[in-house]
Amino acid sequence: MQTYILKEKNVTMVVMRIVIIGGGFGGVYTAGHLNRLLKNHQEIEIILINKTNYFLFTPLLHEVATGSLSPASIAEPLREIFRKTKVKFYQGEATKIDEESQTVYIDNCSLTYDYLVLATGTETHLRHIDHKEIFELKNLKDAINLRNQIIDVIENANHEKNLHTKDSLTNFVIVGAGATGVELSAELSDFIYGTIIKKYYPDNCTANDIKIYLLHSDNTILSYLNYKIQKYAAKILKKKNIVVRTNTKVESIYNKVITLDNGETIEAHTTIWTAGVIPNHLYTHEEKIKRIAVNDFLQTEKYPNIFVVGDIAKQESPAPMLAQVATQEAKTVANNILALIKNKKLKPFKFKSQGTLLSLGSWRATGEIFGINIHGRFTWWLWRTVYLFKFLSWRKRFRIMLEWTINLFFPRDITKA
């Protein structure tokens, strides 16, 4: 075990250090559990490193992109979350790990660790597509950029005389009909038809001008969910005027022209890529594009003092890339670090699904809880309530409740950020 000498208030003490890289669902929940387990161990230090100074609630990103929520509502400052805890926050980007010397390099400095938790999540996997051709929905900046783009293209289409260019401005293409693609397309439809067109552009840009495509390479949308959820979601998307194309692959996108695998082309100024992710990790003993292989206790095989949680962890039978997996793994990892410190037996991780809920725009949602399929208005209310209580602070819960209430009486916000 490595030790360090810390001088605090002229008292010298020996400490052990646990470093967590990544302040998303996996990292923040690991830090929270460790804080509870180790609060009386002054000799143990917990450091959380994250690129941004906030924790981002990704399940509501599509609501920011479509004018329902403001960006600050879904971001919780990490310093606020850990204000009265023993977790120390370090804003910065970890650039390298040296597993042998147990060192993490961050921007211009380095930190040694006794235990390391990797929780750096994923990034969009674009394969051969140029970044400049598409919009993503992975972080707050992406959501703001997308909202600005939606407002801009309709503003431009409103005074565009060339019909061909106008078509391209009013075509929206979402690639990937997993949960993110489906939720986003439903919200996008509500934003465009229900707010932008209905309230603000009655003359030169009408509902007939708009086309929203949802493209998916599999033969069914939401392929990993059950048939009833797929069927209900498909019905709602149809009602919302979304053209769903399954068994359709994007071959290339160049100069705003999307070429499909059957040779057909769609011209669109706005293509949103939600089809696939790759891990975003620094572990040197795994290929960059692969999730990090971990044992039953979520440790890497080579270094038992390195744990992995969230989207980048891969057990023998891999759990889905979901927030509920990351938060459950976080608890196991915190308990197992304590067990290692106390020389006790480690516990294996087993994912217990808490069910699935999927929003489909205003007043519509679908899902499965305790093996029962549910959908409709009640499910939509349940979805909102569940997600509201997943926020870490009452401040954000109240803020979101207020914004959602305002949205019941007023159109969504079309201010560009």
Ligand X SMILES: Cc1cc2nc3c(=O)[nH]c(=O)nc-3n(C[C@H](O)[C@H](O)[C@H](O)COP(=O)(O)OP(=O)(O)OC[C@H]3O[C@@H](n4cnc5c(N)ncnc54)[C@H](O)[C@@H]3O)c2cc1C
Within 233-292, which residues bind ligand X (CB under 6 A)? 280, 282
Cβ-count burial of 161 within 10 angstroms (0-12 exposed, 13-18 middle, 19+ buried)?
A: exposed
Of 144-152, 190-198, 295-303, 319-327, the segment contacting ligand X by CB under 6 A is: 319-327
Computed over its alpha carbons, how large is the radius of gyration of the chain? 23
Residue 413 CA to residue 138 CA, distance in Å, equals: 21
Q: Is 380 in the site for ligand X (CB under 6 A)?
A: no
Give the Cα separation of 352 and 151 in Å (integer). 41
Q: Quick one: tokens of 221?
A: 């949308």
Residue closer to ligand X, measured from CB, 92 or 194: 92
What's the rounded Cα separation, in Å, for the pair 114 and 207?
59
Question: How many other CB atoms are there within 10 angstroms of residue 21's CB atom?
Answer: 27
Q: Which stretch binds ligand X (CB under 6 A): 20-28, 299-307, 342-350, 394-402?
A: 20-28
| 93 part of the interface to ligand X, by CB under 6 A | yes
- Using the rule CB under 6 A, which residue among 61, 81, 229, 365 binds ligand X? 61
Residues 358, 179: contact at Cβ < 8 Å? yes
Contacting residue, 58, 332, 336, 366, with ligand X by CB under 6 A: 58
91 scored as a contact of ligand X (CB under 6 A): no
Q: Verify binding: residue 27, ligand X, rule CB under 6 A.
A: yes
C-alpha to C-alpha distance for 189 and 145, rounded to whole angstroms: 17
* Per-residue binder mask for ligand X (CB under 6 A), 181-220, x = binder: ----------------------------------------
Question: Does residue 205 contact residue 154 with C-beta atoms inside 8 Å?
Answer: yes
- Rounded to the nearest whole angstrom, what is the least distance from the CB of residue 208 to ligand X in the complex? 29
Whichever of 138 and 364 has its CB closer to ligand X, that residue is: 138
Regarding 326 and contact with ligand X (CB under 6 A), the answer is yes
- Does 178 bind ligand X (CB under 6 A)? Our answer is no
Whose structure tokens read 């990490």?
A: 78
Residues 334/342, Cβ–Cβ less than 8 Å: no
Binding site for ligand X (CB under 6 A): 21-27, 49-52, 58-59, 61-62, 93-94, 119-121, 137-138, 179-180, 280, 282, 310-311, 321-324, 326
